[in-house]
Structure 1
Amino acid sequence: MNLRFVEAFYWVASLKSVTRAADKLFLTQSAMSSRIAALEEELGVLLLDRREKQFRLTIAGARFFTYAQRLLELQREAKAEMGSGATQAVSLRIGAIESVLHSWLIPWIEQLRKEHPSLALELTVETTPILVEQVQRGTQDIVFAALPAAADGVRSLALPPMEMVFIGHEKLHRKRRYSLSEFGALELLTFQRGSHPHVALLDLFRSEGLEPARVHTISSISAMVQLVQGGFGVATLPRYAVQRMQNYPFLRALNCDSKLQPLPIHASYRTDPATHAVETVVKSALLFVDARKGTRSGASRAPDTRSVPRSRASKKSMS
């Protein structure tokens, strides 16, 4: 039995789409259909119900899905046990929100590439709703977003949340501490409408019986930082993301009597019975973020931090 055909069927069944499975395996749709047809001929049964436009497995297809998963797992175990130890090239599609991109994604990828030079990455930066949908549909292998994804074959892991702070211009915002009502009278900048930081900011004001004068929603951290640098308002941003932006010398974290909610971060990923590559990469991200959090625990408590040298997360093995 050709395991490439088994793998093709596994992903068609997992993603409930020949088209998405073809994209996952970097095949044409016709090539994917040919592999499924060849597998059906060998097994002597129909695995996919082609009578309707809606995707559906046959009874035989549903039964064979379990065998397909086991066969791919056995293939992986056999390669690990009997293989020569040669490193195989793996391509992974990774998506992340802007807060992750500007905080730890790039230094983590730099470390990941050193440890796994054969790993090819396809990187996408999007909002949480889009990333969640993409990993659910199978167009992303791993996403780092503010919400976990839920779907068959998708697992989610909570990473350490990001500390959120009010950021202002040091020459315009000189007070040692502000009240929430004082911030409410200013131009406030936060992430796009409906995002976790946007909702959390509004909830904070409402919990204290206040209503901010104006809240501007912006999807780009760079745009928010440039606006604050130009003297337009106060932004709510991840502290570490701002600390990495050393080209903007006038940014300042502003103390407030009311604390912003941390930004939750979740790694959602699709399991692959043929390889541990996805789990290895997720584990690497968790270790990297944990190490960075430990090295920066003192900085996260600093009252007014501007340009702080980039952290050097300790390198850890992922074998």
Structure 2
Amino acid sequence: MKLLQLQLLKTVVNNGLNVSRAAEQHFLVQSAVSRQIAQLEEELGVLLFERRGKKLFAATPLAQFIARQTDAIELSLDNIRAFADDFRDTRTGELCIATTHTQAKYFLPQVMDDFRRRYPNVQIRFMQGAPAELVQMLHERQADIAVCTEELDEDPVLVTHRCYEWSHGVIVPPDHDLAEGALTLERVAR
């Protein structure tokens, strides 16, 4: 059962069983409306309209009930959309992010642009420190979240989520001794 089928049925019932008018209101052709109603009847296993030939003659009590229920469904959907809009638009408050200098400089600017667009009413405050200090800021509730690159010791009070894999590389000219072969610390030390 699809919402469009219910809406088409309701429109047909509310327009004196005029399928052409219902099709116009939904920017469809008449055959598409008839097909959707036939599919709904098939799915429910009952006729929703009494017919004389191909013309609809009367809406059954079930069709009238579905039309009324569709009003309630549409109202519920409107309420959900309105609530979602309010929820999205009214995100307010302050978010304090504790981070290392490297993260503040390279990673967070990319992420924060999108966050600020999505939640313009949230004020963001940053605190910087070494990884151990970030953990302390969280424990003391000075920060809401922390972002760092180092693996931290397991902490029963904190939850860690990996955001991305960080990779480092060494860049050398093509004629450098380290340009060929596997790179090891021993080769770098020579």
Q: TM-score, normalised by structure 1?
A: 0.25
**Which has the bigger relative contact order, CA under 8 A and spacing at least 6?**
1
- Structure with greater strand percent: 1
* Structure exhibiting the larger radius of gyration computed from Cα positions: 2
Flag the structure with higher helix content. 2
